[in-house]
Amino acid sequence: MRPILLGALLGLTLLAGAGGLGYWWLGFKAAAIAASTFNVPPDTVAIPSDASAITEGERLAWLHGCHGCHGDSLQGKVFVDEPRVIRLIAPNITQAIRSYDDAEVVRLIRHGVKRNGTAAFAMPSAGFYHLSDADVGRIVAHLRATPVRGDTWPPTEIRLFTKVALVRGEVPTDAGTMDHRAARLGADADTSQVALGRYRASAICSECHGVTLRGQDNAPALVQALGYTLPQFTSLMLDGRARDGRDIGLMGTTARRRFRRLTTREVEGIWNYLRSLPLAAPR
């Protein structure tokens, strides 16, 4: 019996060693992928300092979700904390921005590339990329004018299931998938209401509904504005209510926290733009 027990013990030891080696390799590989850098040069735009520009920058920052992810006062927060998946921290912007120059902040917003060249995890820059120089400048002005907060947070922690997904190429970052040289909607000289709607929708709707607005995950396609009349669509955007008056979960929360800051012209522009999209447009 003793040789059998010794053999079993040796087998278990080898199996545990192989498992430990595999886990180490997984962590090493995932860390290397997360540390990949992107050669995207910083963007230089004018950053205003007048009160009206900073106020507009605050409105835009709320519309585009800066305060939703990073906290009402941009103090940072634990965005997601799932055992065996990830602890995702939205950094304290009021502190982090002090180590960035203006061009680096603009690059982080538009391209999702941090100061060290790595991708900002879960940063929806594919939509922010299209922000005009004027709008992104106002947002940066607001971020810099926000009082510094002392809140501190643990680092983002990539856990087992996310490590596996990273190694399998199932967790793409915007920095790694977007076209960093594409024409920017915010540079378009068209000032029509539909062009304004396209510009706003490309940034604030694409985060959930996909860059083509054809839907993704549980978010529906937005073509033909879901069959909503303009008053119904206005209620949807500003209060998160469906045509029958129901509160639409995440959309309801997002509308009341962020989209209620849309102007009447912006809401009408988004509605008209969505209604102009062909039903058979590709995803």
Asked, for residue 66, whether it belongs to a domain, the answer is yes
User: What pLDDT is stored for residue 14 in this prediction?
Assistant: 46
β-strands 86-90, 157-158 pairing: antiparallel
Claim to verify: residue 164 and residue 234 sit in the same structural domain: no
**What's the total number of domains in the chain?**
2
Same domain, 56 and 154: yes
Question: Is a pLDDT exceeding 70 seen at residue 201?
Answer: yes
Looking at the structure, tell me whether residues 219 and 129 fall in a common domain.
no
* pLDDT for the residue 188: 80
d(CA 58, CA 72): 11
d(CA 203, CA 129): 8
Contact 72, 149 (CB under 8 A): no
Kindly report the average pLDDT of the chain as a whole number: 88
**Any domain includes 25:** no
Cβ neighbours, 10 Å, residue 177: 11
**Residue finishing a domain among 156, 177, 198:** 177
Tokens of 171: 């967790």
Q: Both 59 and 172 in a single domain?
A: yes
Q: What is the DSSP string of 19-48?
A: HHHHHHHHHHHHHHHHT-B---PPP-----
| Residue 255, domain CATH | 1.10.760.10
> What's residue 37's pLDDT?
94
Q: Is there a single domain that holds both residue 86 and residue 144?
A: yes
**What's residue 224's pLDDT?**
64
Whether residues 89 and 201 fall in one domain: no
Whether 55 and 173 map to the same domain: the answer is: yes
Claim to verify: residue 205 and residue 247 sit in the same structural domain: yes
Q: What average pLDDT does this structure show over 239-263?
A: 92
Residues 98 and 164 in one domain: yes
Confidence of residue 21 (pLDDT cuts 50, 70, 90): confident
Q: Report the C-alpha gap between 136 and 98 in whole angstroms.
A: 17
Question: Is the residue at 2 inside a domain?
Answer: no
Taking the C-alpha atoms of residue 62 and residue 41, their distance in angstroms, rounded to an integer, is 26
Predicted local confidence at residue 13, as pLDDT: 56
State the pLDDT at residue 278. Answer: 78
- How much is the pLDDT for 132? 94
pLDDT 10s digits, 137-175: 999 999 999 999 999 999 999 999 999 999 999 988 899
Q: Domain of residue 75: give its range.
A: 51-177
What pLDDT, on a 0 to 100 scale, did the predictor assign at position 43? Answer: 84
Query: What digits encode the pLDDT tens for the residues 221-249?
Result: 887 677 889 999 999 999 999 888 898 88
- What pLDDT, on the 0 to 100 scale, is given for residue 267? 96
pLDDT, tens digit, for every residue of 58-89? 999 999 999 999 999 999 999 999 999 999 99
Q: Are residues 198 and 113 in the same domain?
A: no
The verdict on residue 39 lying in a domain is: no
Supply the CATH number for residue 90's domain: 1.10.760
